[in-house]
């Protein structure tokens, strides 16, 4: 028998220029739409009542034209509301990624930094839930990070250190108790960045927990946050072989292999 199933349209690229007089705003979005419903007959060759994925794409573009796009949570919720109103759909999800653009001058832009914004809304007849997040947030601290006291055996070659570079690419997902405002994402990102550098770190694990706790402390509407912090190693390069003094200034940056630290911080 057919088990759980869903389908949808992925990687719908939407760029909207919001023309407010002489000063334009830019939203660069990638939307995934997923539907669940009574679609068992489709798997047996009967497409009656099935929304086409091409239609899902068109709905996203039409709603982007109608919506002011001043709030990503509201736009995602509008997509979900459209599909939940379809009798054949029991659950809909809209997951949106936003690429940042930074204004140069006037109406010229360059691709910005600060990570890729994520927002997902899942809805059914009972209501909607909101999930925020970010990806590709590359951060580094050049001091205040140590790693020592770990287990050692015959295979351990890693030296202990009281001063190392700590670099990572943050991926985070956080889950709201209710619909957030448009400014919530930037505030959470800023709190993560501040917490990354405001303490003496004994390990990536300690830093991860500290970052998650900072978000929960400052945002009572967030129930939990899941963080992934890969350790982007920066290994000291021995320049003494060239007759030079090692001053802990020159490093070999490598991405493979890497330590992968993941955890969810939630309210007790």
Per residue in 229-261, pLDDT tens? 999 999 999 999 999 999 989 999 998 999 999
Give how many domains the chain has, as a whole number. 2
pLDDT(21) > 90: no
Look at the block and give the residue holding tokens 């020159």. Answer: 250
Domain's final residue, options 125, 154, 183: 125
pLDDT(22) > 90: no
Classify residue 25 as exposed, middle or buried by CB count within 10 Å of its CB (0-12, 13-18, 19+).
middle
Predicted confidence at residue 20, as pLDDT, reads 80
Share of the chain above pLDDT 70, in %: 100
In a domain, 132, yes or no: no
Please identify every residue annotated as catalytic.
Answer: 9, 53, 233
- Are 48 and 169 contained in the same domain? no
Band of residue 170 on the pLDDT scale cut at 50, 70, 90: very high
Q: What is the DSSP letter of 159?
A: P
**The overall pTM is greater than 0.85:** yes
In a domain, 130, yes or no: no
Residue 16 is part of which domain span?
7-125
Band of residue 268 on the pLDDT scale cut at 50, 70, 90: confident
- Are 189 and 253 contained in the same domain? yes
Summarize pLDDT for 185-234 with one digit per residue, the tens: 999 999 999 999 999 999 999 999 999 999 999 999 999 999 999 999 99
Say how far apart CA 145 and CA 165 lie, in whole Å.
7
- Residue 148 tokens read as 């020592």
Predicted confidence at residue 162, as pLDDT, reads 93
Residues with Cβ within 8 Å of residue 120, at least 6 apart in sequence:
76, 93, 94, 95, 96, 130, 131, 133
In a domain, 131, yes or no: no
Side-chain-facing half-sphere of 6: CA atoms under 13 Å: 13
Predicted confidence at residue 215, as pLDDT, reads 98
Say how far apart CA 48 and CA 41 lie, in whole Å.
8
- Are 13 and 82 contained in the same domain? yes
In a domain, 28, yes or no: yes
Residues with Cβ within 8 Å of residue 39, at least 6 apart in sequence:
5, 7, 50, 88
Task: Name the least confident of 104-108, 121-125, 153-157, 182-186.
Answer: 104-108
Side-chain-facing half-sphere of 185: CA atoms under 13 Å: 24
Find the mean pLDDT for residues 106-118: 94
Across the chain, mean pLDDT equals: 96
- Are 178 and 247 contained in the same domain? yes
CATH number at residue 206: 3.10.270.10
Find the mean pLDDT for residues 70-81: 98
Band of residue 131 on the pLDDT scale cut at 50, 70, 90: very high
pLDDT(40) > 90: yes
Band of residue 106 on the pLDDT scale cut at 50, 70, 90: confident
β pairing state of 7-20 and 23-37? antiparallel
């Amino acid at each position: 028998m057919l088990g759980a199933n869903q389908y949808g349209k992925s990687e719908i690229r939407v760029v909207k220029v919001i023309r407010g007089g002489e000063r334009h705003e830019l939203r660069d979005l990638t939307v995934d739409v997923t539907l669940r419903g009574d679609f068992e007959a489709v798997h047996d060759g009967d497409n009656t009542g099935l929304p086409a994925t091409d239609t899902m794409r068109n709905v996203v573009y039409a709603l982007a034209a109608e919506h002011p796009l001043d709030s990503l949570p509201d736009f995602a919720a509008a997509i979900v509301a459209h599909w939940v109103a379809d009798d054949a759909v029991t659950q809909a999800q809209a997951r949106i990624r936003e690429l940042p653009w930074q204004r140069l001058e006037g109406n010229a832009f360059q691709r910005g930094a600060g990570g890729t914004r994520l927002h997902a809304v899942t809805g059914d007849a009972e209501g909607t839930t909101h999930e925020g997040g970010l990806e590709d947030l590359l951060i580094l601290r050049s001091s205040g990070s140590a790693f020592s006291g770990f287990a050692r055996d015959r295979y351990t070659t890693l030296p202990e250190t009281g001063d190392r570079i700590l670099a990572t690419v943050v991926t985070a997902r956080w889950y709201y108790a209710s619909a957030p405002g448009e400014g919530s994402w930037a505030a959470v990102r800023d709190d993560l960045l501040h917490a990354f550098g405001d303490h003496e770190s004994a390990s990536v694990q300690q830093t991860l927990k500290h970052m998650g706790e900072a978000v929960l402390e400052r945002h009572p509407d967030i129930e939990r946050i899941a963080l992934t912090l890969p350790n982007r190693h920066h290994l000291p390069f021995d320049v003494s072989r060239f007759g030079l003094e090692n001053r802990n200034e020159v490093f070999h940056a490598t991405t493979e292999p890497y330590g992968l630290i993941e955890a969810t911080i939630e309210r007790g």
